[in-house]
Chain A
Amino acid sequence: MNVILLIAKRFLMPRNMLEGGIINIISFIGLFIGAASVILSVAVLNGFQGILENETKKIYGDYAINNFDYTVDKELIDIFEKNGIQYAPYYEEEFFISKNKKQSLVNLKSVDSLKFKNFYDLELVSESQDLNHGEIIIGKSLADRMDFSIGDSISIYSTKLNMSYLAIPSIEELTIKDIFQNRILRSDEFLVFTVSKDYNFPDKKFTDIEIIGNIENIIPLPNEQIVSWQQRNKQLFDATEIEKKITFFTLFLIIVVASFNLSSSVMQISTKKTREMAILSTFGMSENRISRIFLLYGYLLAVSAITSGILFALLVIFLQNTFGIFMLNPDFYLVSKLPMVISFKDIALLLFYSVIIIGLFATLPLMLIKKIRPIELINKNI
């Protein structure tokens, strides 16, 4: 066995474990808690982010093609049909929705009536996604806020205020066919669905098309025309990513603080083992190799603590996903159990940053070691 590893290991795990000192235990616990906290917190954020992604895809599909011209781009439809890609042509515009003097701004999405039922995965109150011309499906938050119920008749008119020949806005009367629930508040509050058969509702053609499936290298369109679901909800997902990063780095501070203890541990062991350093030096071990023993000592202590923390977090995530230990109120959180998703990228990042921080904090005491001259101890007969 490598002599440096052998000695570092034995210093770390002496026959009497209490010899290692309370400071080793504190370092271990600090790093353990830090690593476990980072992984668990990020797993929860990943879980909620995953729910948001699913909810987004339910109403936006995977991609959208903008400025779609149904007559010119007919060949695209053939490509979709041939490759088994689901698609839904639609037209989207802001409208006012009103009933009994209450009104609200909504984003009306008028979808090809032949595609609507199978393309969107809406959680509906009545669980029937049949929508006909003259009917509308609205979000639950909007329904609650406006006090709308299924079967109510509502009026809609464009924000662009298209006037009729009598100089009054064109108003359409629609019946609320159903109410959907989506965990993304923006959709639940502002998005409404209608269908159109003739691609001309209301007085507009379908301008965009939503797609479910992988269309990379299949569609002969410029990239700027194709928008993914992430790009369409960039603000939302940028915000969740920033939240994840802030959480990661905030909790990583626990590891940084615990690294101070690690530094003390290395300092303690190196000052306690000056006699052993002198012995090793007399038998020809260089100062650098002696320093590496204490560096490795620090790494062994820290890596074992961080690995244990990660394994503990993985165990908690496994138990949560299997048995649902932490339950949530679905009325408030929209999910019944705390979602947790393991991200191996985050684990790798944690290990990478930890190695750097540990290296830094374990190296600091080595500067002190360099000041210890074994010769002085040997001359005093050690």
Chain B
Amino acid sequence: MILSARNLKKTFQDGDNTLQVLKGVNFDLDKGDILTIKGASGSGKSTLLSLLGTLDKPDSGEIIINNNNLKTINNYDSIRNKHIGFVFQFHNLIAELNIIENVTIPTLIAGKNNDTDYINKLFEYFNLSNRKKSFPLDLSGGEKQRVSVMRAIINKPSIVIADEPTGNLDEKNAMKMIELFKNLNADFNLTFIIATHDEKVFRIGDKKMNLSNGTLKEV
């Protein structure tokens, strides 16, 4: 098992009102699984992804990522760096860095040297070999999002968390992105957790779940 979530609860305070966003989320994920999550806006998808991505802490419950129980760990930075890759709705590339620098940022943060062969193969795989020295401003929207996926998987993470990855793409690029996720899953046995409104993206999941009323239910 690569990820296990047990009875996750999360509450937010909004003035005098208490909003319980997650009321006990449970699921398990094996290596190579694709979990797709859908739900209405404000249902707590992003909150759930933040907890799973160690960007926030649950009020109660536990998360185990690749045998690391987050309750026993104080510093999540290295867990995020080693085990989790993020893809957002917007590419969020750093405009001042060129493409290869953007992609290798997680490796540099880990303090590792870049594996040139691996990086070259990855660029070939993503069909972006000729864009290494370009800057984000010079790339199309689809290319930028592919670069952001490459950045998410550069450190060979246990899980890739994608929040509305096609939300900012046109139909054609959205389809390409769906294909890319499928191929990455097949070729690299990568595990994905994808939150989406897009029905086509939702359908690629091995496990499809709906987040509603603070709980996650298999569809």
Contact = CB atoms under 8 A, between A and B. Distances in A.
B94 A279 contact: yes
A278 B80 CA distance: 13
Nearest to B102: A279
B208 interface: no
A11 interface: yes
A283 B106 CA distance: 6
Interface string B72-106: 00010111111000101110101111000100011
A282 interface: yes
Nearest to B98: A10
Given A3-B105, A284-B109, A381 B90 contact: yes
Given A283-B105, A381-B88, 6 more contacts: A280-B105, A282-B53, A282-B80, A282-B86, A283-B81, A381-B90
Interface of B: 46-47, 50, 53, 55-56, 75, 77-82, 86, 88-90, 92, 94-97, 101, 105-106, 108-110, 135, 137, 151, 163-164
Interface string A364-382: 0000000000110011011
A286 interface: yes
Nearest to A282: B86
A285 B83 CA distance: 13
Contacts of A379: 46-47, 50, 55-56
Interface in A339-382: 374-375, 378-379, 381-382
Chain A's interface: helix, strand, loop or mixed, by majority?
helix
Nearest to B86: A282
Interface string A280-324: 111111100100000000000000000000000000000000000
Nearest to A381: B89
B55 A286 contact: no
Contacts of A1: 108
B47 A381 contact: no
Contacts of B105: 3, 279-280, 283
Nearest to A284: B81
